[in-house]
Amino acid sequence: MELTTAGALMKFAMRLENQALEFYEETAGGTSSQDGKQAFSDLAGANRKSAALLERLYKDNTFSDMDVGVNEPVAGLDPGSYSTEVNLGSTSHYTELLELALELEKKAGKFYLDCIGQINSQSRSVLKRLDKLAKEKAERQSRLNSLLAVAASSG
């Protein structure tokens, strides 16, 4: 997927959120740790909300003026820099799952921050929402780091 318009950025962000959502849902059902089940369930819910927000953002901007809508040109973002290969078949240890979740959240957070730097939109709401998403990703990273620290001290 080429990231050449604001709309493409939003669609890619939806894809990142949905990929993480699927990972968290599968992981919550498959982990034996009660803390892990709750954490992954919470992360799935948060990603569901983020994906819905992005979908609304995309739809709200679909019919905007060309210079502030989904057709606003952007350049310089490589989707490969923000994607994470998720292969649950090869990852089953709790700490590995947490590390993978942390990687998903870091890359998505970086993507949102990089998007803010790319979108020259006059729509302050787009930039505010992307900033909000980046901050939420940072909070999730902090929670995952805490879970990793607990897992490391007990295992």
Q: What domains can you pick out in the chain, each with its CATH number?
A: 6-154 (1.20.1260.10)
Q: At what angle do helices 6-30 and 94-118 cross, to 10 degrees?
A: 170
Q: What is the pLDDT of residues 37-94, one digit of tens each?
A: 899 999 999 999 999 999 998 888 777 654 456 777 888 899 999 988 887 665 668 8
Half-sphere exposure of 136 (CA within 13 A, CB side): 19
Q: What is the pLDDT of residues 96-121, one digit of tens each?
A: 899 999 999 999 999 999 998 888 76
Closest of 146, 153, 137 to residue 36, by C-alpha: 146
C-alpha triplet 140, 95, 46: angle, nearest 5° = 25
- The one-letter amino acid code at 94 reads Y
Sign, CA torsion 29/31/34/35: negative
